[in-house]
Amino acid sequence: MKNSKYLPLMATFVVFVLAYIICISVFPNMLSTRVAGNLLTDNAFLGITAVGMTFVILSGGIDLSVGSVIAFTGVFLSVILRDTSIHPLVAFVMVLALTTAFGAAMGGVIFFLDMPPFIVTLAGMFLARGISYLLTTDSVPITHPFYSTLQDIYFVMPGGGRLTLIAIVMLVVFAVGIILAQRTRFGTYVYALGGNLTSAQLMGVPVAKTTIGIYALSGFLAGLSGIVFSLYTSAGYSLAAVGVELDAIAAVVIGGTLLTGGYGFVAGTFLGICIQGLIQTYIVFDGTLSSWWTKIVIGLLLFGFIALQRGLMWMSERSARNMRHASAAQPSNA
């Protein structure tokens, strides 16, 4: 009973372990740091933006703009690095400032105009994608030597696997995200907004600041994810990262976060990313399966998790009711 809020997280963990066991029993080679390293590297950009998405969904919102923001970041960086002599680090700061401000602006619209996050971030999605097209419609390669330097940073894990810089960035983002959610006032405010907006307001939660902060954080992490994506692909392309927002939402939900907000963990999202990564890896190892199987399995998993959450809510509602009736029956009938 007490741990019912951990139940979806535990379910995710069980699914992850099962998936891993299945993978290893079919392809024993998958049990290696090499595979683990690649999995983290391939999903680094998705994981980073999924951390931001976790905060948004915990607060009861949604951010559909992140895929477009990732594409915009890549295009912005590639154009800047091609046309000017600005150092990539400076360009990183510029683009992060832009995407953070973009997220904050969406949060402001959501709060002050009292608009549904779905609509506001849908507008943001079109806007960011449109601006990317405006910058360039071509895929622009990034050839700056600093990029090669960054791409060559990695740790060799025991067993020969490489923990690349972008994988490390993702792990750090998850660690910071966990602390932010569990150990700061901002984190508690995020849960509070997702729990009950009216109560949160009456209890003195700074709703405006928190809402803007949440979408600014999501914008910042989408920008960071875009930088990582540009390091991963060495290019900027306005058609890139289409649908990544949906993959991120899927990872968050499979990670056990309630879509209506208030319940969930950043750590769960990490497991959600790993499960998605495992499925992709399995398909690569198999070699005969179409890559669309990833989508099919993810779809089935999503259905499963939504059903699980619904079931858990029914169960807790019923036990709450029974508890009330039990306590109501005792004294009044005595």
Residues that bind other proteins (CB under 8 A): 1-2, 4-5, 179, 182-185, 187-189, 191-192, 194-196, 198-200, 202-205, 262-263, 316, 320, 323-325, 327-332
Min dist CB 160 to other proteins, Å, is 37
Determine the 3-state secondary structure of 289 from DSSP: coil
Nearer to other proteins, 113 or 326 (CB): 326
Min dist CB 65 to other proteins, Å, is 26
Q: How far is the C-alpha of 42 from the C-alpha of 231, rounded, in Å?
A: 11
Strand ranges (E), 86-215: 140-141, 154-156, 162-164
Q: How far is the C-alpha of 255 from the C-alpha of 265, rounded, in Å?
A: 8
Contact by Cβ (8 Å): 228, 170: yes
Min dist CB 195 to other proteins, Å, is 4
Q: What is the DSSP letter of 163?
A: E
Among 58, 77, 64, 60, smallest CA distance to 103 is for 64
- Reading the block at residue 228, the tokens are 């990582």
Q: How far is the C-alpha of 47 from the C-alpha of 45, rounded, in Å?
A: 5
Min dist CB 63 to other proteins, Å, is 21
Neighbours of 97 (CB within 10 A): 12
Nearer to other proteins, 258 or 279 (CB): 258
- Residues 6 or more apart whose CB falls under 8 angstroms from that of 189 comprise 200, 205, 206, 210
Amino acid present at 262: G
Looking up tokens 């198999």, which residue turns up? Answer: 286
Nearer to other proteins, 16 or 189 (CB): 189
Nearer to other proteins, 291 or 330 (CB): 330
Nearer to other proteins, 291 or 332 (CB): 332
Min dist CB 103 to other proteins, Å, is 23
Min dist CB 15 to other proteins, Å, is 23
Nearer to other proteins, 20 or 186 (CB): 186
Min dist CB 258 to other proteins, Å, is 9
H-assigned helices in 84-143: 88-112, 117-135
Strand ranges (E), 151-294: 154-156, 162-164, 235-236
What pairs with residue 155 in β-bridges?
Answer: 163
Nearer to other proteins, 40 or 56 (CB): 56
Min dist CB 2 to other proteins, Å, is 5
Nearer to other proteins, 103 or 177 (CB): 177
Provide the b/e sequence for 286-304 (b: ≥16 CB within 10 Å): eeeeeeeebeebbeebeee
